[in-house]
A and B are shown apart, each in its own frame.
Chain A
Amino acid sequence: MTAIAAAGLTKRYGRVLAVDGLSFSIEPGEIVGFLGPNGAGKTTTLRMLAGLVRPSRGGCRLLDRRVPGPSLREVGTMIEEPSFYPYLSGRANLRHAAILHGGVPERRLDEVLEFVRMERAADKRVRAYSQGMRQRLALARALLWKPKVLLLDEPTNGLDPAGIAEVRAALKTVAVQGVTVLISSHILPEIEKLVERILAVDKGSLRFDGPLQGLLGAVGVNTVSYELEAIDGRALLDALADMGLEPSPHGDAGARVAVPEARAPELLSGLASKGVKVLEARRGAVSLEDAYLRLVGAEGRPS
C-alpha cells in the first residue's frame, strides 16, 4: 500500500502555474521533508493532498484511495497558520473537532493535550494563546483521531528551540507508530534531524526526490566546508582563490570555503606553501541547508 501518491499533480491559478506535474509516492511510516523556496508550490500541493484544492490536472491518492474521498478521514493536517474559534478554549476547540470528525473518545482529548504539553493552558480561550501554543494545539488537533497520514506545513513555526525539539520528538514518536508524515519546514536543520527522505520543489516542479544523503550527492557534495582564520586575512583569501576555490570572507581575518573532499588533505599544506600562516581551521559537515541552497540556486531562499 502507498500512503501518499501524486501523479502529474498540476494546479493553475489563471496564468500562474503553481504546481506543474508533480509525481511522487510515499510509503507508510516514512517521514518525508518537503522543501522549496517561497512560491515553489509546497502549500498548494499539501492543500491538494488534503482535498482542499482541486487539481487542474493529474490527481493524488491517500492510502490507495482517491482524493477527495473517505481516505481524508484518516489524515491529520496542519496547513499554514493554524486557525481556531478564538472565543472557545483550546479544549473546546479540540472537542468541536472531535465531534465534527466523529468516533473520538473523550479521553483522547486529554491524551493529545498531554502529548503536546498543553494540559495547563487547555481551558484558556484560544484568543489568549501565543503563536507557539496555537501551533501545539493544531498539532494536537491533527493527532486527535489517530490519523494514518500527517500533512504538516511549517509545524514548528513560532516555536522556541525547546518547543521545536518537543515537536520533533513527538513526530518521531508518531512515525514509530507507523504514521506517514509529509512535513514542510523552513527550519532546515530541523528537517535534517527528522526526515529520511527529501522532496524538493522549485517553481512548481519536483527538483529532487530521494534520501537525505542523496540530496547531498545530487548537488555535487563531495565537498567539505572549512572555516579558516589566518594572520593576514587578505592573503588567505587570495591564496584560496589561487588554488581555484571560491572563498568568502569570515570575520576579521578569516574565510569560509567549500573544498572537494579529495582535495581536503592538501588544503593546509597548499596554504602553507603560499606563505599563509593559518591560526585555526575548522572542518564542518555539509549541511542540508548548504545542499538545498545549491539545489534551488542563488535566488532560492528557504521557505
Chain B
Amino acid sequence: MTGTMLAAVANVVRAELFKGFRKRRFYFLAGLYWVLLPAVALITATVLDHNLGGSFADQGGQIAQALQGFASPFGLARLALMAPALMSPTGYIIAVALFAGLFIGEERTQRMWKTVFSVQPARMAVLTGKVIAGMIVLAVLLGGALIVGTLAGVLGTLFLPTTFAGPWGQVAGLFGLQWLQLLAALLLAYLLVFLVRSGTLGIILVIFLPALLEGLYTVLNTLSVLRPLTRYNAVFQALRLRQAWQALPHYFFNANLYAPARHLLQPFLQSTGTPQGADLGPLGNLLGQGITLPHAAAVMAGYAVVFAAATAWLVARRDVE
C-alpha cells in the first residue's frame, strides 16, 4: 500500500468517525449495553443477597459464589461479553447491522455514494477506511462494556460479598478475539448492502440470513434422515459426502462467530453447579460444543477473506447511481 493510499484510508477513517460519533444511535446502543446490563445484574444481585444471603438456601456460601459469578467486577465483565451472544438476534449482530447501516447503508439511502466517491475517488481506500471505522466503533462499544462492567462490579463490592478476583487475562483475550471475529460479520453486512443495493434490506439480511441458511440446513438434514435409501443417496453416502454434510455445522457462521463470547458460559454454568461434561441438550448447540477457539478463529478468518474479496470486487466495479 503506497503512502498516498494510506493517507487516503486515514482520511476516510477520520471522516467516518467524525460522522459516526455524531449519530445518536451509537450512544443509544452504548447506553443500553454499558449501563442497562450491569444495572440489572447489580439490582438482581442485591435482591438475591438481601433475600437469600445467610438463609437456609445459602449452605456453604452458594449465594456468595453465585454473586461472584455474575455481579463481581470479573463477573460483570464476563457478563458484558456473554450476554449479547445469548440474545436472539444477538446483540453483536444488531450492533454490526446498525454500524453497517451507518457507514454503508446510509450512503445508499441518502444517495451519498456519488458524493463520497467524487470527494475521495480511491474506492479501495473508502472501503478499507469504512471497515476500519466500523471496527473502531465496535472496539469502543466492546471496550466500553468491559470498562463500565468492571467499574460497576467494583461499585458492587461496596455492598455485595464480591471480590475483584478472576481470570482477567482470559476475559480480556476473549473480548479481543470476539472483536476480531466481528470483522467477518461487518464485512458480510457491507457485502449484503452492496449486493442487494438497499441499505435497509442489507441490514435485515445480515441479521437473519446466516440463521436462515443454518436453519435450512437443519431442516434438510432432518428430511434426509427420513428419506428411504435410493441409488442417489447411496452414491451420496459412498462418496462420503454425508460425513462432510454432518460436519457442516462446525463451519456455520453463527456457531463460530460467537465462540469467544460463549466460551465462558460453560465455566459459568459449572460455577452455578452444572457438572463438567454434562449433556446440555439444545444448550450445547448454543454453546458451540465441539468448536474450539482456534477452529472458530480460522473459520471466521476464512469468512472474512471471502466477504472482503467479494465486497472489494463489487465496490471497485459497480457504477455509482
Contact = CB atoms under 8 A, between A and B. Distances in A.
B32 interface: no
Nearest to A44: B319
A141 B112 CA distance: 13
Contacts of A86: 110
Interface stretch (A87-95, A169-177, A277-285, A291-299): A87-95
A164 interface: no
B11 A52 contact: no
A29 interface: no
A73 B115 CA distance: 12
A244 interface: no
A72 to B, nearest CB: 4
A72 B118 CA distance: 7
Given A52-B320, A73-B121, A92-B22, A100 B11 contact: yes
A101 B106 contact: no
Contacts of A100: 11-12, 15, 116, 119-120
Contact of A102 (B11, B111, B117, B118): B11
Nearest to B17: A99
Nearest to B118: A77
Contacts of B114: 47, 50, 52, 77, 79-80, 83
A83 B109 CA distance: 10
A258 B70 CA distance: 91
B23 interface: yes
A26 interface: no
Interface in B1-42: 4, 7-8, 11-12, 14-15, 18-19, 22-23
B121 A87 contact: no
Interface residues of B, number: 27
A50 B118 contact: yes
Contacts of A83: 110-112, 114-115
B112 A99 contact: no
A96 B121 contact: no
Q: Which of B12, B14, B120 has the most CB of A within 10 A?
A: B120
A88 B7 contact: no
A218 to B, nearest CB: 33
B240 interface: no
A53 B118 contact: no
A68 B121 contact: yes
A152 to B, nearest CB: 12
Given A51-B121, A85-B110, A99 B14 contact: yes
B22 A102 contact: no
A80 B121 CA distance: 18
A73 B11 CA distance: 13
B149 to A, nearest CB: 30
B231 interface: no
A97 interface: yes
A144 to B, nearest CB: 8
B121 A72 contact: yes
A45 to B, nearest CB: 13
Contacts of B119: 97, 100-101, 141
B110 A84 contact: yes
B101 to A, nearest CB: 13
A124 to B, nearest CB: 15
A112 to B, nearest CB: 13
A80 B321 CA distance: 10
A86 B19 CA distance: 11
A75 interface: yes
Contacts of B227: none
Contacts of B18: 92, 95-96, 99
Given A54-B317, A96-B18, A75 B111 contact: no
A52 B317 contact: no
Contacts of A88: 19, 22
Contact of A87 (B11, B15, B23, B111): B23
Q: Which of A52, A72, A86, A88 has the most CB of B within 10 A?
A: A52
A261 interface: no
Nearest to B111: A83
A100 B317 CA distance: 21
Contacts of B112: 83-85
A111 interface: no
11 contacts: A52-B319, A53-B319, A75-B118, A83-B112, A84-B115, A88-B19, A96-B19, A97-B15, A99-B14, A100-B119, A102-B11
Interface of B: 4, 7-8, 11-12, 14-15, 18-19, 22-23, 106, 110-112, 114-121, 123, 317, 319-320
Interface of A: 47, 50-54, 68-70, 72-73, 75, 77, 79-88, 92, 95-97, 99-102, 141
The 10 closest A-B pairs by CB, nearest first: A72-B121, A100-B15, A52-B320, A99-B15, A102-B11, A83-B111, A77-B118, A53-B319, A100-B120, A100-B119
Given A50-B114, A84-B115, A96-B18, 17 more contacts: A47-B114, A47-B319, A47-B320, A52-B114, A53-B319, A70-B4, A79-B114, A81-B111, A82-B115, A83-B110, A83-B111, A87-B22, A88-B19, A97-B15, A99-B14, A100-B120, A102-B7
